[in-house]
Structure 1
């Protein structure tokens, strides 16, 4: 499925495979392959920079998998005629089994996208191995999973140093000696990756801007980063009508699950075409940075449970000032409904009762290690969702011969963030304080001082208006046939959006992307070819 694979062998028929970018040297992998203590493999699963998973055949009939804790290099298993089969792609296993989309998983995906659905994936009969768990298929007995990872603790200066080193190494192992490109939106996340890549060699920095507006805001900040690093070859991509959201939705590429870029596929594919012209083979994107460094105030619930009432009142008031609202609802939620602080309770009137009931029947609390607070569990769930769906974006990029990478979804980067308390990570006065401290001295001061980044909601309104008929047709499609969506309600909301009424695009995009994915799912059995080998 296009995943980078490295292998090492040892005496006794032991075979080790590493999937995904990994900072280990060949000699380190060879030494690991000789080890017999599984705890050494547990440690190795997060010992190096990158986003990788381990697979071990111990030579005696037992087999082991270590998907990464951040969920960015997912692994899947299925059973065929009593035999366990595994793959780095759920679509690959679905093609082998002739699977159809899992309706219960789809319901959970629409109701609570970041929630864990144990024993399931987007395809019936295919199970995702829980991130951070060691999956064992013993010589005798049924397969089982046990957790192998939990985050460590550190003080703020140590976490800053860890994050700086791990981010730098994560970029280095991906771009060193290769034709590389990076998003360069002018925001803190993409600017950080572009700057680290520029320290490794030439890199193409891509900046989007509306046609006719080549200065101001994001564009000026992107130019400041490019000026600071002469090895950045700055390229601008003017966005016009042909790049609008909801444009050219028919040729959607089938992926492991619905891809976040489904409704903005026209812009994404034009970007891939530009990168191909520039000769890039690997592309960096800052997706995942907001989840790590700009969390909602879920830590208020931890403050309430630990009796830190003065800090609770202070942060709730700061949150109220930030959003010009009363602090009392946030304080009440901290005591009675922590999920509301993370946005889980936002109404989704287009979903019917069947979707909610079905989702509740398959959703688990989470797969977080024991002892984590509300905020850390929320962050881990969000990060794993971003990591898993980032793998689908890489599948889209592969159609253009490009590897897409998201260093902010790497396990070591996530560990560095989780190593400090949630209350320390959150701030109403500083924008992404942990990342800002980590890249101090790397980026121009005007980029570090930014308080936000530009939004593109207006483009969605324009795109919907230009493609109104085809988008409205999506409302009465496969999801409606499955009994998960109320078409009339969805059409009403979309028509309001056409008129310019503000709607929750962050919730509607995954819904429409899921409908498009379902329509492409008919080609699942043709997507991956399996070969029998003697």
Structure 2
């Protein structure tokens, strides 16, 4: 995994701008701690920071190919899991390879097939190709949006990068946030293509951006389509198992230490079991789980989590035979100013969830001490319909993004200063966003009733909520130089399951029926029967008290720019509540106060309304 960046200018000489492209590239050092490089020409400056995973010695970037009429340059982040097959196909077509890296395969694929090569890739990736033969830039993002990629227009070209911080290092990009950006921060609605920062866009999943002298043109090369499902239950279960096992097998490819994230839930457990089966006789899979000091002994079931993770994680580790590691966090560490700052800087915008970001950052930091690549069960709930909201008829029937109902994140919109809320009209924005999301849903002719409602719910979660989850995992992992792979985001699996009727997805009356059936024989019965449990959160009231104290300091500071955005009178009851009685959703509103304060201090954004 890596960090990429670049600058294309059709009316300037970028060979004179080495300090700027160096600065842009250096912002990606966390994503690529192993190596860095810059390529310069008059019209293009390309930067790369490398996390060496495949062909450690030979995969340096930016990677170039010389032709008779100009150089073709690639800066690449991610993994193409089918690079071995593609390399053989390209060899038969006459290409000669000098490395074992998937990066060279992607470059050669472009030389052979041009931008149509995107249809041949299986993986998670974000990359840019500067084609000096025609002076044109191609930006590409993977189908599900596992890896990020941003760009911004300039007067005579574009700048781009894996994260906004790379673009912000260029003096042509303003540190400005307008009304649309603030809506993204407070509405908890992830608009495809939006980037919070004014003038900046995120390349949408499954899209390319082609940039020439006429400007950028964004095109979709992949989207979910509705198709008739013809397989019966047994064939469907077998296909799901086959597709997932193949995804896990491909995603185990690595020349550096690898591991699996294991919570003891169904999703991470089946990925771990399949990885162990694939590597049996070669190596023992290393697994990691996270918990909080004293929480296993003092766990109290609540409306989100019915059971503690640790007993189930240990049972799976024993059943499968992994080298298991238990990372225990002190809730006080979640309030460490340096940890909170690192989490906000990793995102570049204050859209995180406080302790959930901090604890994930600390977990990944611990994992990185022993492994460079980790497999994760992320996205199974979006693909198979695992969240509770899929199984609540009232929520399914409500024309609102379901996570706003379940998580209480609506509190973020209500925390705004009344004057700001009047300008942003967050509820209206959410309603319009929901209508836009529904309008994109593909349907079969004559599809109606429950199948239509559930297809709509699944599509919204795959195109909106999944981006929230993948973005969090990418930022927190890459902030410590850890590559996290997500087998459930294999586009072949996603396409197949998306078109499986809801009656099959829930054939036994439980969530993720198909995945449970496909996991049979691989896992302990206790894990197969376990109800969905979200990523763990501390139950220590001392943590809530610490959040209240920190937020109070921010809001009591007359010089804090946060006071201009939020309604202090609205937040006062949360500041004064008993810590043990402060619900998670409202607490997130106080966490957002803290993140905003850090963001203003680090980024110094100008707010324009």
Fold-level similarity (TM above 0.5): yes
1:343 equivalenced with 2:416 (yes/no)? no
2:356 is the alignment partner of 1:282: no
Q: Look up the SS of the partner of 2:545 in the other structure.
A: helix
Q: Conserved in 2, the CA contact under 8 Å of 1:350 and 1:489?
A: yes
Once residues 20 and 367 of structure 1 are traced to their aligned partners in structure 2, the CA distance between those partners, rounded to angstroms, is: 30
Question: Does structure 2 retain, via aligned residues, the 8 Å contact 1:76–1:126?
Answer: yes
Equivalent residues of 1:476, 1:487 under 8 A apart: no
Q: Deviations over 1:459-512 (max 9, x none)?
A: 263311245311333456899647442122123224325141434268537734
| 385-394 or 360-369, which deviates more | 360-369
Residue 464 (structure 1) aligned with residue 544 (structure 2): yes
Query: 1:343-362 maps to which residues of 2 (within 5 A)?
Result: 343=404, 347-348=410-411, 349-353=414-418, 354-355=420-421, 357-358=423-424
Q: Do the aligned partners of 1:298 and 1:341 also contact (CA within 8 Å) in 2?
A: yes
Aligned residue in 2 for 1:415? 495
Q: Residue 404 of structure 2: SS of its match in structure 1?
A: coil
Per-residue Cα deviation, 1:430-451 (whole angstroms, up to 9, x for no partner): 1322322332222222211112
Match of 1:107 in 2: 182
Q: 1:485 aligns with which of 527, 545, 566?
A: 566
Residue of structure 2 equivalent to 1:518: 599
Which residue in 2 is equivalent to 1:237?
A: 327
Counterpart-to-counterpart distance in 2, 1:368 and 1:219: 42
Q: Residue in 2 aligned with 1:186?
A: 264
- 2:314 is aligned with 1:223: yes
Q: Indicate yes or no: 2:201 matched with 1:123.
A: no
How big is each residue's C-alpha offset from its partner over 1:194-250, in whole Å with a ceiling of 9 and x where there is no partner?
2233333333222334445667853222122111222x1112233444345677655
Deviations 1:117-146 (A, max 9, x none): 65x4132332112222221113x4221112
What SS does the aligned partner of 1:429 have?
Answer: coil
Structure with more relative contact order (C-alpha pairs < 8 Å, separation 6 or more): 1
- d(CA) in 2 for partners of 1:391, 1:367: 27
User: Which residues in structure 2 correspond to 1:289-368 (within 5 Å)?
Assistant: 289-294=380-385, 319=392, 334=397, 337-339=398-400, 341=402, 343=404, 347-348=410-411, 349-353=414-418, 354-355=420-421, 357-358=423-424, 365-366=436-437
Give structure 2 stretches of 5+ with no counterpart.
Answer: 1-27, 33-49, 52-58, 91-104, 298-306, 444-454
**2: CA distance, partners of 1:222 / 1:165:** 24
Aligned partners of 1:130 and 1:367 also within 8 Å: no
Note the C-alpha offset of 1:111. 3.7
Provide the rounded CA distance (Å) in 2 between the counterparts of 1:411 and 1:476.
49
Q: For 1:195, what is the secondary structure of its paired residue?
A: helix
What SS is found at the alignment partner of 2:324?
strand
| Residue 443 in structure 1 maps to residue 443 in structure 2 | no
2-structure distance, mates of 1:128, 1:291: 21
User: 1:146: which partner in 2?
Assistant: 219
Q: 1:434 aligns with which of 514, 519, 523?
A: 514
**What is the CA–CA distance in structure 1 between the aligned matches of 2:204 and 2:438, rounded to whole Å?**
7
Contact 1:42 1:148 in 2 (8 A): yes
**Residue deviations 1:301-321 (CA, integer Å, cap 9, x gap):** xxxxxxxxxxxxxxxxx73xx
Is the CA contact (8 Å cut-off) linking 1:77 and 1:128 kept in structure 2? yes
Relative to structure 1, is the Cα distance of residues 459 and 236 closer, same or farther in structure 2, using a 3 angstrom cutoff? same
Return the alpha-carbon distance in structure 1 between the equivalents of residues 526 and 336 of structure 2. Answer: 34
Conserved 8 A contact 2:417-2:564? yes
Task: Find the residue that maps to 2:117 and give its secondary structure.
Answer: helix
Give the SS at the match of 1:459.
Answer: coil
Q: Is the 8 A contact 1:132 1:148 kept in 2?
A: yes
C-alpha deviations, 1:411-462, integer Å up to 9, x for none?
4443343232456435793132232233222222221111233775562633
SS in structure 2 opposite 1:504? helix
SS in 1 for 2:484: strand
Query: Which of the two has greater strand per residue?
Result: 2
1:149-164 map, 5 Å? 149-152=222-225, 153=227, 154=229, 155=231, 160-161=237-238, 163-164=240-241
Contact map agreement 1:16 1:55 (CA 8 A) in 2: yes
**Does the aligned pair in 2 maintain the 1:8–1:33 contact within 8 Å?**
no
Match of 2:140 in 1: 66
Does 2:35 correspond to 1:35?
no
Change (3 A) 1:56 1:350: same
Distance 1:110 1:127, change over 3 A: closer
The number of equivalent residue pairs is 483
With structure 1 as the length reference, what TM-score do the two structures score? 0.76
Contact conserved, 2:145 with 2:205, CA < 8 A, in 1?
yes
Distance 1:412 1:507 in 2: 36
**Shift of residue 92 of structure 1?**
0.3
Q: Tell me, in whole angstroms, the C-alpha distance in 1 between the residues paired with 2:547 and 2:292.
A: 19
